[in-house]
Each structure stands twice: as structure tokens, then as C-alpha cells.
């Protein structure tokens, strides 16, 4: 079986890491040949080359660029494939257009965000696919509501590679450190987090601080809001750093997302690092977190509810221990290899094997 993985992103964010993990698993699976097509200037191409995995460098990243289709046609003549698997929205558009023009191989799309997919032009590219995967059950159900036949839709959660993560480092002193990590965009809910900090500041609690790791367009407004609310001295904004580097020095992971969440990598990274997780109760998050067992849930968008959950985590050492143990039990369900095994099973089903 020959598989072409297609991703048009430039950054090495959660979706591109999933492509990397899947490419690595396919490379070591007998009977499967795989190559990843991605922009030559993108960080995914660099990561794949560093790992010694096959890369086909795309001459652009816009699905409106005719050079991409000429390149794809030429590439598929040299490397005829059985499966074309797209991993972001632009790649899905490109894959669907290619399918109309050429047909042949089976087309698989992965969708990673839970925003509603309205019937019409935006869902057309998904209707063209032989299989569509939502990275949570919520996303899969949204695809069906948008008119994708249920027989073509499945849910495969994203996975992480647990071997990348070090366990939490014990600290003898210093304030309790809550950490979030991710792009500073509206859906991540960092404004809610800052308002929860202001709520906590008025409560008699042991010393605590917050670190939000990442960059993005809303970083300045989050910093300004912290200043207006008087919590800037409690907030550290170190910029974009690798979660592997930053997680072992924190005491809890906070995922305050307000919408759009797919299958949160930050939650799984908290489990892998051995720190308790506090997150919003978005539907996709609730597919991962069972409140009080492997994490704490707060009402999405509600700073008081988030502050209450943070206070519980801060005050109760025994609760933190139970949450860490629950995360350890849950993590094997969401590894990179489990994710890849499910995709390989889907490919084989499509090929009638």
C-alpha cells in the first residue's frame, strides 16, 4: 500500500506533529510505503528530514496555485498511490480538487477543529472524500450534521509520543505554578484565565503564579488585560517555547479554551509529564477528561468557575495525586502509536484488506 500524506501548514503545531507521528509509524509498518508532501519552507519538512523520513517538497501552499496540481500529477505518475490523506483545511481543498480532476486513489481527510461545518461549499471538499476523520467524536458528529454520510465518518483522537516528556521535577520552594501553552488566539481562552487570576487574587491562598507559554496576535492584549486587572506581577509570558522543556517545572496544566478545541494535546502532555490538569468543559475536552478522576473541569468561558477549579487544585494535595494517577491510566489510550494504528486500520478497510 502506498500513502501520500498532504499538509500545507508552515508551522510545527499540533496538526503537523500528528502528521510527523503518522509518517514515522507508517515508515516502520511492513507493507506500507509513505511519503509526506508539505511546503519546502515549512517546519514539518525540516522535522521529517531530520528524522530520515521521506519528504516531497511542495512548490507553494495555496490550493489556488495551479503549480501544486501540476506537481501533484507529476509526483503521482512517479509514485502512484493508493491513499491520499490530507491534514489541514487547505490540503483538504487541494485533495478534493485533485480527486475531481484525476480520481484514482482513495481520499481521506482529517478535521481537527470543532467549529460547525455548514452544508454548502465549505463542506464540499469533505463530501468528496472516501473517508473523513474527526479527531474527536464531537467533530465527527458535526461532519455528519453537515451532510457527510455517516458511513464515511469516523473519530480518531490525536496522540502524543510519551517518550518525549520528562516527569515533573519536585520543587522544595517557590509559588505553585499554573501553566498554559499554545497560540495566543481567541479560542484558547487566555482572557478568561487572566480574569480567573484576578478572582483568585482576592482569595486567601498559598502563593501561586501563572505562566502562559506561546505567541500570537492576542499576546499584547492578554498582557494589557493582566495589567488592568492588577495581576501582571503574577503572570509570566516567556514567548514560544517547546512544551517538553517547560512542562516539568510547572505544578498544573490549565487548558481554558472557549471554543474550537479538537483533541487537546496540552491535556495529554500534562498527563505524560505527571502534573494535574484543569480544563474547560468543552465537549471535546470531556471526551478526554473525567472530572475529579484524571482532571478538573470548569465551565467554558466562566472565570469564576475556572478560579474555583484552580483553587481546588492548589489547596488539595491528595486530589492532585489522584488526578496524576488518573492521567497515567488514561494516557495509553491517546498515544501516537494508538492513533497511527487506527489510521492504518482505516486505510486497510478502504482498500478492502
Give 83's contacts (C-beta < 8 A, 6+ positions apart). Answer: 1, 2, 3, 4, 105, 106, 108, 347, 350, 351
Rg (CA), the chain: 21
Confidence (pLDDT) at 119: 66
Q: Is 162-333 a CATH 3.40.50.1240 domain?
A: no
CATH fold match for the domains 2-159+335-350 and 162-333: yes
Q: Are 43 and 51 in contact (CB under 8 A)?
A: no
Lowest mean pLDDT among 51-60, 268-277, 286-295: 51-60
Q: 27-80 pLDDT, tens per residue? A: 999 999 999 999 988 999 999 999 999 999 998 888 888 888 888 888 888 889
The pTM (predicted TM-score) of the whole model is 0.93
**Residue owning grid cell 489510550:** 333
Confidence (pLDDT) at 353: 66
The band of 222, judged by pLDDT with boundaries at 50, 70 and 90, is: very high
The band of 329, judged by pLDDT with boundaries at 50, 70 and 90, is: very high
- SS3 sequence, 27-52? HCCCCCEEEEEEECCCHHHHHHHHCC
Its CATH architecture, for the domain 2-159+335-350, is: 3-Layer(aba) Sandwich (3.40)
Q: Are 55 and 38 in contact (CB under 8 A)?
A: yes
Confidence (pLDDT) at 63: 86
Query: CA–CA separation, 9 vs 11, rounded Å?
Result: 6
Q: What share of the chain has pLDDT > 70, as a percent? A: 99
Confidence (pLDDT) at 156: 98
**Residue owning grid cell 509509524:** 25
DSSP string for 212-249: EE---TTHHHHHHHHHHTT-GGGEEEEES--HHHHGGG
Q: What share of the chain has pLDDT > 90, as a percent? A: 82
The band of 227, judged by pLDDT with boundaries at 50, 70 and 90, is: very high
Query: CA–CA separation, 295 vs 172, rounded Å?
Result: 24
Q: Are 351 and 1 in contact (CB under 8 A)?
A: yes
Average pLDDT over residues 233-255: 96
Query: CA–CA separation, 91 vs 61, rounded Å?
Result: 8
Q: 86-140 pLDDT, tens per residue? A: 999 999 999 998 888 877 789 999 999 988 887 666 788 999 999 999 999 999 9
Q: 7-25 pLDDT, tens per residue? A: 999 888 889 999 999 999 9
Q: What are the b/e assignments for 198-214, b being 16+ CB within 10 Å?
A: bbbeeeeeeebbbbbbb
Confidence (pLDDT) at 62: 87
For the beta sheet containing 277-280, the strands, ordered from the edge strand earlier in sequence to the opposite edge, are 235-239, 208-213, 176-181, 252-255, 277-280, 296-298
Rounded to the nearest integer, the mean pLDDT of the chain is: 94
Give 222's contacts (C-beta < 8 A, 6+ positions apart). Answer: 184, 190, 191, 194, 212, 237
Query: CA–CA separation, 151 vs 286, rounded Å?
Result: 24
Q: 132-161 pLDDT, tens per residue? A: 999 999 999 999 999 999 999 999 999 999
Query: CA–CA separation, 188 vs 255, rounded Å?
Result: 8
Amino acid at each position: 500500500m502506498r500513502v501520500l500524506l498532504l499538509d500545507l501548514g508552515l508551522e510545527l503545531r499540533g496538526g503537523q506533529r500528528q502528521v510527523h507521528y503518522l509518517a514515522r509509524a507508517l515508515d516502520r509498518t511492513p507493507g506500507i510505503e509513505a511519503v509526506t508532501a508539505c511546503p519546502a519552507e515549512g517546519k514539518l519538512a525540516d522535522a521529517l528530514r531530520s528524522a530520515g523520513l521521506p519528504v516531497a517538497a511542495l512548490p507553494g501552499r495555496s490550493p489556488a496555485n495551479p503549480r501544486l496540481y501540476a506537481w501533484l500529477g507529476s509526483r503521482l505518475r512517479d509514485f502512484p498511490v493508493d491513499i491520499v490523506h490530507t491534514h489541514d483545511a487547505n490540503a483538504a481543498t487541494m485533495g478534493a480538487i485533485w480527486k475531481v480532476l484525476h480520481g484514482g486513489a482513495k481520499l481521506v481527510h482529517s478535521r481537527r477543529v470543532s467549529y460547525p461545518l455548514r452544508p454548502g461549499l465549505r463542506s464540499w471538499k469533505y463530501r468528496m472524500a472516501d473517508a473523513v476523520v474527526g479527531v474527536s467524536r464531537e467533530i465527527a458528529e458535526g461532519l455528519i450534521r453537515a451532510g457527510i454520510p455517516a458511513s464515511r465518518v469516523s473519530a480518531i483522537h490525536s496522540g502524543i509520543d510519551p517518550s518525549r516528556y520528562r516527569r515533573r521535577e519536585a520543587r522544595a520552594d517557590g509559588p505553585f505554578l499554573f501553566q498554559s501553552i499554545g497560540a495566543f488566539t481567541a479560542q484558547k481562552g487566555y482572557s478568561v484565565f487572566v480574569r480567573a487570576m484576578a478572582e483568585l487574587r482576592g482569595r486567601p491562598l498559598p502563593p501561586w503564579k501563572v505562566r502562559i507559554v506561546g505567541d500570537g496576535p492576542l499576546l499584547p492584549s492578554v498582557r494589557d488585560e493582566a495589567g488592568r486587572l492588577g495581576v501582571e506581577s503574577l503572570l509570566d509570558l516567556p514567548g514560544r517555547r517547546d512544551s517538553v522543556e517547560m512542562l516539568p517545572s510547572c505544578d498544573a496544566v490549565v487548558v481554558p479554551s472557549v471554543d474550537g478545541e479538537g483533541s487537546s494535546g496540552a491535556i495529554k502532555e500534562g498527563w505524560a509529564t505527571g502534573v494535574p490538569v484543569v480544563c474547560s468543559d468543552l465537549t471535546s475536552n470531556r471526551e478526554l477528561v473525567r472530572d475529579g478522576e484524571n482532571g478538573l473541569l470548569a465551565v467554558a468561558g466562566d472565570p469564576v468557575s475556572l478560579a474555583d477549579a484552580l483553587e481546588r487544585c492548589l489547596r488539595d494535595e491528595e486530589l492532585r495525586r489522584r488526578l496524576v494517577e488518573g492521567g497515567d491510566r488514561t494516557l495509553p489510550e491517546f498515544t501516537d502509536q494508538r492513533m497511527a494504528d487506527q489510521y492504518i486500520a482505516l486505510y486497510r478497510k478502504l482498500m478492502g484488506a
